[in-house]
Amino acid sequence: MSKTALLFAGQGAQVVGMGQDLAGKFPSARAWFDRANIVLGYDLAGVCFNGPEVDLTKTENAQPGIFLVSWVCFQLLKEQVPDLKYEATAGLSLGEFTALTAAGAMSFEDGLRVVRQRGKFMQEACDVTGGGMAAIIGLDEVPTREVCAAAGVVLANLNCPGQLVISGAAEKITKACELAKARGAKRALPLPVAGAYHSPLMAGAQPKLAAELAKVNLVSPGVPVISNVTARAHGAAVDISAKLVEQVCASVLWETSMRALLAQGFTRFIELGPGTALSGFMKRIDKTATMLNVADVASLEATEKVLKL
């Protein structure tokens, strides 16, 4: 029997207008956006719907915005497909918080608040460290690690075969891109991000995030939630907080996480939230896996149709 995992979008997926058609069509979606505005005390929904882009891309808005839209997609899918069954969840970086919330490890309100604070803490770390990131396309992990060691940067995201992301001080990222191209990378592209996520330059955010998580009532999730840090299911509630703090500076083991789920018999994956980056990664990891997604009304209806067959 096939098993289904829910996958939640990470930072970078944000786009002005995300969630707007869902809120326009479904009163329950509008209610979640209104609820989020009350929880945070500002119009996050308006930033998601109308931007401007410069405001939406701020880490402190992008992170809760993606969390919120992904959560709304999840709630609407459950509403439209009442007998939806899933046996695990996972999320890319920020998306791991959404995955944990969807699995019942924390409340929606706590998840939204802590993600907003995480975004602020990470932005503060970015502002004082001057870091950057780059996508390395078409170079394997071992030579990419050698490039990182030579340039003094780190491997931040192992997304899928041929798609890795490096992170570190901005001038060192430039050097790493040159070295990667010399080693045979098809492309080495600096990314339009605020700083060096998933690197030691984010360490300043860790104690602040730990303090915020200490205020959250974390419980064991109802289904396995895959940790970005270990590529294994989270353990007891007491360990979840430590792994989420570690994740800020640690590499995101996305490909390994997906291969672990595939090895456990998962054949269907539903990406929830803006964009289809995770679906693209899965195509590079295992073309035989079934990928569905919910990002707007059209994709919700298409996924609902497949699930009700």
Overall average pLDDT of the 229-252 stretch = 96
Q: Is 198 a catalytic site residue?
A: yes
As a whole number of angstroms, the distance between CA 44 and CA 46 comes to 5
Overall average pLDDT of the 23-37 stretch = 98
The per-residue pLDDT for 309 is 85
Overall average pLDDT of the 247-252 stretch = 98
The per-residue pLDDT for 177 is 97
Report the CATH number of the 131-190 domain. 3.30.70.250
Overall average pLDDT of the 247-251 stretch = 98
Overall average pLDDT of the 58-82 stretch = 97
Q: Is 241 a catalytic site residue?
A: no
Asked if pLDDT for residue 2 goes beyond 90, the answer is: no
What fold, for 3-127+200-307? Malonyl-Coenzyme A Acyl Carrier Protein; domain 2 (3.40.366)
Instruction: Return the beta strands (E) in the chain as ranges.
Output: 3-8, 88-91, 131-137, 154-160, 163-169, 187-190, 266-272, 290-294
The answer to whether 92 and 70 are in contact (CB under 8 A) is no
Domain with CATH 3.30.70.250 in the chain: 131-190
Catalytic residue among 70, 167, 198, 199: 198
As a whole number of angstroms, the distance between CA 100 and CA 77 comes to 17
Domain with CATH 3.40.366.10 in the chain: 3-127+200-307
Asked if pLDDT for residue 1 goes beyond 80, the answer is: no
Residue 200 CB neighbour total at 10 angstroms: 14
Overall average pLDDT of the 99-107 stretch = 98
Output helix, strand, coil percentages for the chain, rounded to the nearest 5: 50, 15, 30
Closest by Cα among 254, 234, 286 to 156: 254
Q: pLDDT tens, 140-180? A: 999 999 999 999 999 999 999 999 999 999 999 999 999 99
Catalytic residue among 93, 167, 199, 241: 93
